[in-house]
Amino acid sequence: MMVDKRQTSATDRYWRIFVARCRLSLTLAAQYRWDFLADGALSFLGLIAGLLPLFVAFEHRTSVRGWSYGEVLLVVGFFTILKAIFSAILLPSLTELAAGVRSGTLDFLLTKPADAQFLVSIARFEFWRLSSLLWGISLCGYAFFRIGRVPGGVDILLALLLLVCGAAVLYSICIFVASLAFVIVKMDSLPFIFSSFLDFARWPASIFRGVVHLIFTVVFPVAILTTYPAEAALGRISLSSLAWGIAWSGALLLLSRLAFRVAVRRYTSASS
């Protein structure tokens, strides 16, 4: 019973820290109301620019590697949703960590009586960047309109489950990159290089072949990020893909946790 009370107390404490961080971020976001509108407009223009290669690819064909135009639009819709989460929640904290290692302010964070990875993960949010979520959801709706199909309840649930798995994969990769910050002090550009690499997720994984397909399925699994949720929403996700998406996202969470703890241990040893 004592252990349960301690666990409950720790959970409540972390929850309060998270809520406090969200309130602070929302307060800051209120000061950037025009940024919300500007970011929404820029993300819309970015979405249109990102669709231009699709217009070219489907100008003289009805499908690419078994994917129709509407189905690829669905993949882009899921990509836009995850890109919004990355830009608003993950990238700001990753950038803050890189700055903290370079300036030495990270040492103060590591002395706090809380889990270091948790504190690093919620270091900073930029909620005004979530405006592109609206474009992603709208694009998914338009994609189904183009396809002429209404997804069933089970399809939606599986798509949401795999979207959560995709977010977990994205978070895990961010933690891996964060772990590098303890080794590579001057890594200011690394988060943005990672952001550019993420753009490959706007395409279905099946269009890549050979070693590239293996990389985008296992090493940097863009398939779990966007392709699997789209296939689930279309009602054609295979059992093996579903199992792989869930299992590999869980494994990456554990591996990234281990990598971060090793990096922090080496960093604190070097600092002392």
| Average pLDDT, rounded, for the chain | 84
Mean pLDDT of 203-228: 85
Per-residue pLDDT of 252-266, as tens digits, reads 999 999 999 998 888
pLDDT of residue 208 exceeding 60, the answer is: yes
Q: Which residue has the higher pLDDT, 132 or 165?
A: 165
> Which of 92-96, 150-154, 181-185 has the highest mean predicted lDDT (pLDDT)?
150-154
* Residue 189 pLDDT grade (very low, low, confident, very high; cuts 50, 70, 90): low
Percent above pLDDT 90 for the chain: 33
Of 32, 120, 44, 141, the C-alpha closest to 83 is 44
Mean pLDDT of 186-215: 78
* Region for 5 from its dihedrals, namely left if φ exceeds 0, alpha if ψ lies in -120 to 50, beta otherwise: alpha
Q: What is the pLDDT of residue 2?
A: 46
Of 34, 227, 40, 35, the C-alpha closest to 135 is 40
Residue boundaries of the structural domains of the chain: 1-31, 33-271
Q: What is the pLDDT of residue 143?
A: 94
Q: What is the pLDDT of residue 269?
A: 58
Q: What is the pLDDT of residue 107?
A: 77
pLDDT of residue 190 exceeding 70, the answer is: no
Q: Are 203 and 72 in contact (CB under 8 A)?
A: yes
Q: How far apart are CA 209 and CA 87, in angstroms?
A: 29
Which two three-digit tokens encode residue 164?
A: 């959560």
DSSP string, 194-259: HHHHHGGGGS-GGG--HHHHHIIIIIS-HIIIIIHHHHHHTT---HHHHHHHHHHHHHHHHHHHHH
Cα Rg of the chain, angstroms: 20
Q: What is the pLDDT of residue 3?
A: 47
From 107-111, 113-117, 132-136, 237-241, the region with the lowest mean pLDDT: 107-111
